[in-house]
């Protein structure tokens, strides 16, 4: 599919398509239909390969919603269709709404970004000499790792009873946070640690200085002014809505298990918002409208500043260099500044990205936890719209395609030694059955050179190394492999 798009991709950027529309309306319709067809084929193929039950997309250009659509099922039972109006848990994209509320209150003089968090709440982490500030919470630069308070109500919502740490009230939450003094990894501004719980703290600051419940503040000052009438944190509102999804978690055997969205106040600020693709289109229009009435452009520019360098080792970095602003990630995309953030709330996920220079924004939501795929989808759609090479834009998909081919059963001559290779959730692993081994030996396959299909098997013993090299016969399509002294053939 990727090769198909690369060969047949219409190279006309969206900006030029708009120009053609002004000059020759019929030509615009033909070109636009071709771009949409490319994009929809790409989306459907990715959904098919990665087994996404339902997905919705919105694309904004300048001040208008250019495209909105749903694909697949919002609920498998009954085969109810996903649409652009289906309510989806957007996960950590919610953080940008929290940051927006903070910046509104900064504009009103009620919050200072460089002020210690302890000025607003009974917050005992950090030191008086080098205090943790509001800025540090917004930019994940406090030096504290995630303290996992948010996962406790989510796990309980999924039926887990293993974690018995108290987390049923704001008192429980603050006791949990303030008890983590010894968890500080570094001084503020020295390292990046993504921290959900500190965005919950930011939500409490919004409540304290505004005198309103956090969710009421967001509704009154952000959602309603933007016409996002159905976007909500409320379980009651969600359950009354006629167009909502059923969230799914894929079990070990590949079956889909239904779970409800985890509603809990502790989760609201970092990841609890539910919205639709169409209403997220309103949000994207606001972000790209320099005349918007709910926040000053200067404040948006501050939110998109490069404050914390994200290490390449983190799973959130799409390309080689990424920075974290205030609830937004900033990366380069073919020379353009791309502002983006993903979200995952276990039963659904989302991705929102904008390229301010081109005034294009994309939102994607799905009813399953599959954030990395949505990030790649978003970049692929941008590539189609801007006439860029989709293989460069979405390296993850070409790698995924290569590694998927390697999964399966292998054996040596006469089947004396057998090897099972599994590719799951981005991890390649193996299991060997050997006549002289009393039990099967399992091992990870770490990439050494993915292009050459060469991997190594990590061994902790000194001077012990083992590699596995796969080969694909271009004429027959058959796959073979060599490991140590053995020659493997895929069955």
Judging by DSSP bridges, how do beta strands 274-275 and 54-61 pair with one another? unpaired
Question: Cα torsion for 139, 142, 143, 147, to the nearest 10°?
Answer: -90
**459 in a domain, yes or no?**
yes
Q: Provide the pLDDT for residue 160.
A: 66
Q: Provide the pLDDT for residue 314.
A: 66
Sorting pLDDT into bands at 50, 70 and 90, what band is 163? low
C-beta of residue 142 within 8 angstroms of C-beta of residue 132: yes
Measured distance CA(338)–CA(45) in Å, rounded: 25
Q: Provide the pLDDT for residue 166.
A: 83
The residue range of the domain holding 318 is: 59-369
Measured distance CA(324)–CA(314) in Å, rounded: 12
Residues 431 and 365 in one domain: no
Domain count, the chain: 2
pLDDT tens profile 289-307:
877 789 999 999 999 999 9
Residue 178: CATH number of its domain: 3.40.710.10
Sorting pLDDT into bands at 50, 70 and 90, what band is 316? low
Residue 311 DSSP label: P
Which residue is it, tokens 């303290």? Answer: 147
Q: Provide the pLDDT for residue 407.
A: 94
- DSSP letters for 313-382: TSTT-SSS-EEE-SS-EEEEETTEEEEEEEEE-SS-EEEEEEEGGGTEEEEEEESBS-HHHHHHHHHHHH
Residues 424 and 350 in one domain: no
Closest CA to 485 of 410, 412, 409: 412
Would the pLDDT of 394 be above 90?
A: no
Q: How far is CA 384 from CA 37, 268, 277, 317, 393, in A?
A: 10, 34, 19, 21, 10
Which stretches does DSSP call E strand in 177-233? Answer: none
**481 in a domain, yes or no?**
yes
Residues 86 and 218 in one domain: yes
Q: Provide the pLDDT for residue 292.
A: 77
**156 in a domain, yes or no?**
yes
C-beta of residue 194 within 8 angstroms of C-beta of residue 140: yes
Would the pLDDT of 159 be above 80?
A: no
Per the model's pLDDT, the better-predicted residue between 20 and 106 turns out to be: 106
**25 in a domain, yes or no?**
no
**28 in a domain, yes or no?**
no
Per the model's pLDDT, the better-predicted residue between 300 and 396 turns out to be: 300
Measured distance CA(267)–CA(245) in Å, rounded: 19
Q: Provide the pLDDT for residue 162.
A: 63
Mean pLDDT computed over 297-321? 84
Residues 294 and 417 in one domain: no
Residues 240 and 318 in one domain: yes
Q: Provide the pLDDT for residue 31.
A: 56
Long-range contacts of 10-15, Cβ-Cβ distance < 8 Å, separation of 24 or more: 10/34, 10/35, 10/38, 10/384, 10/387, 11/387, 12/387, 13/385, 13/386, 13/387, 14/61, 14/66, 14/358, 14/360, 14/385, 14/386, 15/358
- DSSP letters for 238-267: HHH-SSB--EEEE-TTS-EEEE-----HHH
Structure tokens at 54: 């339902």
Share of the chain above pLDDT 70, in %: 90
Q: Provide the pLDDT for residue 18.
A: 39
Would the pLDDT of 27 be above 50?
A: no
Which residue is it, tokens 């002294």? Answer: 485
Mean of all residue pLDDT scores within the chain: 88
Mean pLDDT computed over 311-320? 70
Give the CA count within 13 Å in the CB-facing half-sphere of 330.
Answer: 18
Q: Angle, nearest 10°, between helix axes 14-23 and 25-50? A: 150
**17 in a domain, yes or no?**
no
Residues 92 and 153 in one domain: yes
For residue 143, the tally of other CB atoms under 10 A from its CB is 22
Residues 273 and 418 in one domain: no
Answer with the one of 369, 395, 418 that is the final residue of a domain. Answer: 369
Mean pLDDT computed over 107-114? 98
Q: How far is CA 58 from CA 31, 86, 444, in A?
A: 19, 12, 38
Residues 152 and 299 in one domain: yes
Q: Provide the pLDDT for residue 262.
A: 87
Q: Provide the pLDDT for residue 13.
A: 40
Would the pLDDT of 22 be above 50?
A: no
Residues 278 and 340 in one domain: yes
Closest CA to 15 of 6, 28, 26, 24: 28
User: Sign (positive/negative) of CA torsion 112, 106, 149, 349?
Assistant: negative
Would the pLDDT of 269 be above 90?
A: yes
**91 in a domain, yes or no?**
yes
Share of the chain above pLDDT 90, in %: 66
Answer with the one of 323, 339, 369 that is the final residue of a domain. Answer: 369
Mean pLDDT computed over 112-140? 96
CB-based burial label for 86 (10 Å; 0-12, 13-18, 19+): buried
Closest CA to 370 of 147, 49, 154: 49
65-69, 96-100, 423-427 — which is least confidently predicted?
423-427
Q: Provide the pLDDT for residue 450.
A: 87
pLDDT tens profile 62-97:
889 999 999 999 999 999 999 999 999 999 999 999
Sorting pLDDT into bands at 50, 70 and 90, what band is 6? very low
Mean pLDDT computed over 126-130? 92
C-beta of residue 409 within 8 angstroms of C-beta of residue 426: no
11-15, 291-295, 357-361, 474-478 — which is least confidently predicted?
11-15
Q: Provide the pLDDT for residue 306.
A: 96
Tell me how many degrees the CA angle 100-103-109 measures, rounded to the nearest 5: 150
200-209, 228-237, 425-434 — which is least confidently predicted?
425-434
CB-based burial label for 90 (10 Å; 0-12, 13-18, 19+): buried
**54 in a domain, yes or no?**
no
Would the pLDDT of 24 be above 50?
A: no
Would the pLDDT of 240 be above 70?
A: yes
Q: Provide the pLDDT for residue 50.
A: 85
pLDDT tens profile 172-216:
999 999 999 999 999 999 999 999 999 999 999 999 999 999 999
Residues 247 and 144 in one domain: yes
Measured distance CA(23)–CA(128) in Å, rounded: 64
Residues 311 and 416 in one domain: no
Residue 448: CATH number of its domain: 2.40.128.210
Cα 116 to chain centroid distance, Å, stands at 30
Residues 336 and 233 in one domain: yes
For residue 9, the tally of other CB atoms under 10 A from its CB is 18
Structure tokens at 282: 């309103």
Would the pLDDT of 282 be above 90?
A: yes
Mean pLDDT computed over 414-435? 89
- DSSP letters for 217-231: HHIIIIITTTT--S-
Would the pLDDT of 41 be above 50?
A: yes
């Amino acid at each position: 599919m990727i090769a198909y798009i690369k060969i047949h991709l219409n190279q006309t950027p969206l900006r030029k398509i708009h120009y053609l529309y002004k000059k020759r309306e019929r030509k615009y319709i033909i070109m636009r239909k071709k771009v949409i067809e490319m994009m929809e084929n790409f989306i459907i193929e990715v959904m098919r390969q990665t087994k996404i039950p339902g997905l919705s997309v919105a694309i904004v250009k300048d001040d208008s919603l250019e495209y909105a659509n749903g694909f697949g099922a919002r609920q498998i039972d009954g085969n109810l269709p996903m649409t652009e109006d289906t309510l989806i848990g957007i996960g950590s994209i919610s953080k940008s709404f929290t940051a927006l509320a903070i910046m509104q209150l900064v504009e009103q003089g009620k919050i200072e970004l460089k002020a210690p968090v302890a000025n607003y709440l009974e917050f005992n982490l950090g030191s008086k000499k080098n205090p943790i500030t509001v800025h540090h919470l917004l930019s994940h630069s406090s030096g504290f790792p995630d303290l996992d308070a948010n996962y406790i109500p989510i796990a309980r919502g999924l039926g887990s009873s293993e974690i018995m740490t108290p987390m049923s009230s704001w008192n429980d939450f603050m006791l949990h946070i303030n008890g983590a003094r010894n968890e500080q990894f570094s001084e503020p501004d020295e390292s990046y640690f993504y921290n959900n719980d500190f965005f919950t703290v930011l939500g409490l600051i919004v409540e304290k200085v505004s005198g309103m419940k956090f969710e009421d503040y967001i509704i009154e000052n952000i959602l309603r002014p933007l016409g996002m009438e159905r976007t909500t944190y409320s379980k009651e509102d969600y359950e009354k809505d006629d167009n909502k999804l059923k969230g799914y978690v894929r079990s070990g055997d590949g079956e889909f298990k239904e779970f409800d969205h985890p509603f809990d106040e502790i989760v609201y600020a970092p990841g609890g918002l539910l919205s639709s693709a169409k209403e997220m289109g309103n949000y994207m229009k606001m972000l790209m409208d320099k005349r918007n009435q709910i926040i000053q452009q200067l404040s948006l520019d501050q939110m998109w500043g490069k404050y914390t360098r994200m290490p390449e080792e983190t799973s959130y970095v799409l390309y080689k260099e990424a920075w974290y602003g205030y609830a937004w990630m900033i990366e380069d995309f073919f020379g353009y500044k791309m502002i983006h953030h993903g979200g995952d709330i276990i039963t659904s996920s989302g991705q929102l990205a904008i390229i301010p220079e081109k005034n294009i924004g994309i939102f994607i939501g799905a009813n399953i936890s599959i954030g990395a795929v949505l990030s790649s989808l978003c970049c692929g759609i941008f590539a189609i719209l801007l006439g860029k090479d989709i293989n460069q834009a979405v390296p993850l998909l070409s790698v995924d395609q290569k590694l998927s081919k390697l999964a399966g059963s292998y054996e040596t001559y006469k089947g004396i030694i057998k090897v099972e290779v599994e590719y799951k959730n981005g991890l390649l692993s193996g299991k060997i059955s050997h006549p002289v081994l009393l039990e099967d030996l399992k091992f990870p396959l770490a990439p050494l050179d993915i292009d050459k299909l060469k991997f190594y098997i990590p061994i902790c013993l000194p001077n012990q190394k083992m590699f596995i090299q796969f080969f694909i016969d271009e004429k027959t399509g058959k796959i073979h492999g060599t490991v140590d002294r053995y020659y493997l053939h895929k069955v």
